[in-house]
């Protein structure tokens, strides 16, 4: 059994890591870390508001009893000698300082964006660009690390990149336009989105999000050439908005393909996409993409939990008359499961299988 540290364990994504690792067959959470606010307290006490006594557990699943007594360490001083892998769920500015310290000796799988755009750092989605993990060898050589950093993509990029992959393989892509309707949990909890700002409202701007989605999609769907990734040559343009939904990002996607195709061909390419089928990875969904025939789906409330939040659900695949060879569809992807913690655990499983961890 691999021993894991979860850094940022008290946050929304950190709690999802605790759930994702609960009864995991290969990996167990044995060390937890967070900020000065939580350090020195048991996990249970760190999650309990000192003034009101409120237990600030966010996940739908109950809080696993066996981690409640673990003492939360200060992330900057965490003892990592006795762990085999580190899951990082902290903000990017802290990740920039802490993750290289950990990576000098241990594998770090991160949900933060700090290192996503560096040349020697792969942004992995198992089943989509698993082969890009070869960059880890380059990273170790360049930086002199025994460990490494692999960040997972932004929670909005992940559903987009997954659904574009079968289209790219079957028909080629000229350009992509996307408008997102992103959930509140995507903004985290400290401070997160203020209730009165989002009630009866849509917020049309999420700082840095659009640039992240555009760059990451091109990197993930790019090609590993020599010691670096050649970004996919098609343009990606998006508008990212925040809506009054608790969990699950919805995206309206418009694709101009190289070869003409019919909506049924796209649906078939997505349904048949092999992805992680027969991969043997414990957190892998049965199907990476589930295509819904009902024109009123996908909906975040009904579809985000498909296959434990690990499948991307697609519907409304139809022709788009405004684009050359235009196809459009709607997707729903779970932002704190496949888009964060469970997705990062899946990445760890891939890296175990590939021999980079353990
Ligand atoms: N939410 C999502 O859907 C989502 C999806 C993909 C990626 N991400 C990324 O995942 C990361 C965590 O997001 P989140 O939504 O879980 O945020 P969050 O709910 O605000 O949690 C932040 C965590 O970071 C800890 N922290 C704060 N300052 C720290 C410091 N100086 N040193 C160490 N730990 C510190 C907090 O600990 P205390 O409780 O002790 O303050 C808490 O555990 C971010 O980089 C975010 O961009 C989030």
What does the DSSP assignment read for 211-243? HHHHHHHHHHTSEEETTEEE--SSEEEEEEEE-
Cβ proximity of 16 and 6 under 8 Å: no
Residue-level pLDDT at 288: 98
Strand 289-291 and strand 228-230: the pairing is unpaired
Residues 323-337: what's their mean pLDDT?
Answer: 98
Residue-level pLDDT at 172: 98
Q: Is the pLDDT of residue 125 over 80?
A: yes
State in Å: Cα 66 to ligand 1 middle: 22
Residue 9 CA: nearest ligand 1 atom is 43
Residues 202-221: what's their mean pLDDT?
Answer: 98
> Is the distance from the beta carbon of residue 339 to the nearest atom of ligand 1 less than 6 Å?
yes
State in Å: Cα 154 to ligand 1 middle: 13
pTM: 0.97
Nearest to residue 255, comparing CAs of 166, 316, 177, 159?
Answer: 177
Active site residues: 155, 249
Helix (H, G, I), strand (E, B) or coil at 245: coil
Residue 191 CA: nearest ligand 1 atom is 20
Percent of the chain residues past pLDDT 90, beyond the cut: 98
Residue-level pLDDT at 189: 82
Residue-level pLDDT at 206: 97
Residues 247-262: what's their mean pLDDT?
Answer: 98
State in Å: Cα 307 to ligand 1 middle: 25
**DSSP code of 50?**
T
Rounded to whole angstroms, the Cα distance separating 146 from 37 reads 31
Residue identifier of the C-alpha nearest atom 35 of ligand 1:
35
**DSSP code of 186?**
G
Residue-level pLDDT at 191: 81
State in Å: Cα 45 to ligand 1 middle: 18
Residue 39 CA: nearest ligand 1 atom is 40
Helix (H, G, I), strand (E, B) or coil at 208: coil
> Is the distance from the beta carbon of residue 10 to the nearest atom of ligand 1 less than 6 Å?
yes
The H-or-E segment that residue 33 falls in is: strand 27-34
Could you read off the pLDDT of 2-33 as tens digits, one per residue?
999 999 999 999 999 999 999 999 999 999 99
Torsion of the alpha carbons at 129, 290, 87 and 301, rounded to the nearest 10: 150
Q: Is the pLDDT of residue 200 over 90?
A: yes
> Is the distance from the beta carbon of residue 185 to the nearest atom of ligand 1 less than 6 Å?
yes
Residues 42-47: what's their mean pLDDT?
Answer: 98
State in Å: Cα 354 to ligand 1 middle: 28
> Is the distance from the beta carbon of residue 157 to the nearest atom of ligand 1 less than 6 Å?
no
> Is the distance from the beta carbon of residue 109 to the nearest atom of ligand 1 less than 6 Å?
no
Which residues are registered as beta bridge partners of 332?
250, 313
Q: How confident is the model at residue 119 (pLDDT cuts 50, 70, 90)?
A: very high
Helix (H, G, I), strand (E, B) or coil at 276: coil
Residues whose CB is less than 8 angstroms from the CB of residue 239 and which lie 6 or more positions away in sequence, other chains included: 178, 179, 180, 204, 210
Cβ proximity of 336 and 61 under 8 Å: no
Residues 49-67: what's their mean pLDDT?
Answer: 95
Residue identifier of the C-alpha nearest atom 30 of ligand 1:
35
Could you read off the pLDDT of 64-84 as tens digits, one per residue?
999 999 999 999 999 999 999
Q: Is the pLDDT of residue 190 over 80?
A: no
Residues found in the chain: 358
Residues whose CB is less than 8 angstroms from the CB of residue 147 and which lie 6 or more positions away in sequence, other chains included: 102, 103, 104, 105, 106, 107, 108, 140
> Is the distance from the beta carbon of residue 159 to the nearest atom of ligand 1 less than 6 Å?
no
Residues 224-251: what's their mean pLDDT?
Answer: 97
Residue identifier of the C-alpha nearest atom 31 of ligand 1:
35
Residue-level pLDDT at 201: 98
Q: How confident is the model at residue 124 (pLDDT cuts 50, 70, 90)?
A: very high
Residue-level pLDDT at 104: 98
Residues whose CB is less than 8 angstroms from the CB of residue 243 and which lie 6 or more positions away in sequence, other chains included: 181, 182, 183, 198, 202, 203, 250
Q: How confident is the model at residue 335 (pLDDT cuts 50, 70, 90)?
A: very high
> Is the distance from the beta carbon of residue 71 to the nearest atom of ligand 1 less than 6 Å?
no
State in Å: Cα 7 to ligand 1 middle: 9
């Amino acid at each position: 059994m691999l021993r894991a540290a979860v850094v940022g364990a008290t946050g929304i994504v950190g709690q999802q890591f605790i759930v994702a690792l609960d009864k995991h067959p290969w990996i167990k959470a044995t060390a937890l870390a967070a900020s000065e606010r939580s350090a020195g307290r048991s996990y249970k006490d760190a999650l309990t508001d000192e003034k009101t006594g409120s237990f600030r557990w966010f996940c739908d699943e109950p809080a696993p009893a066996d981690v409640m007594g673990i003492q939360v360490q200060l992330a900057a001083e965490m003892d990592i000698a006795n762990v085999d892998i580190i899951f990082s769920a902290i903000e990017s500015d802290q990740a920039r300082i802490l993750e290289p310290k950990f990576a000098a000796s241990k594998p770090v799988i991160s949900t933060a964006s700090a290192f996503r755009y560096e040349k020697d750092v792969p942004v992995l989605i198992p089943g989509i660009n698993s082969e890009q993990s070869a960059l880890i060898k380059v990273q170790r050589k360049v930086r002199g690390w025994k460990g490494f950093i692999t960040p997972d993509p932004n929670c909005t990029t992940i559903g987009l990149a997954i659904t574009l992959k079968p289209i790219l393989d079957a028909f080629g892509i000229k350009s992509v336009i996307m408008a997102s309707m992103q959930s509140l949990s995507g903004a985290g909890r400290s401070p997160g989105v203020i209730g009165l700002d989002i009630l009866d409202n849509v917020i049309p701007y999420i700082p840095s999000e659009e640039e992240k989605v555009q760059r990451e999609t091109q990197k993930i769907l790019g090609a590993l050439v020599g010691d670096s990734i050649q970004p996919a040559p098609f343009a990606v343009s998006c508008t990212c908005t925040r809506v009054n939904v608790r969990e699950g990002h919805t995206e309206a996607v418009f694709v101009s393909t190289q070869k003409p195709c019919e909506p049924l061909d796209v649906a078939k390419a997505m349904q048949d996409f092999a992805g992680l089928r027969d991969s043997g990875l414990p957190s892998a969904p049965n199907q990476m993409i589930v295509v819904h025939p009902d024109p009123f789906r996908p909906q975040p409330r009904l579809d985000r939990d498909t296959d434990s939040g690990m499948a991307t659900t697609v519907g409304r695949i139809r022709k788009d008359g405004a684009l050359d060879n235009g196809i459009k569809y709607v997707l729903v992807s779970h932002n704190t499961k496949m888009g964060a913690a469970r997705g990062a655990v899946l990445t760890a499983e891939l890296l175990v299988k590939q021999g980079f961890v353990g």
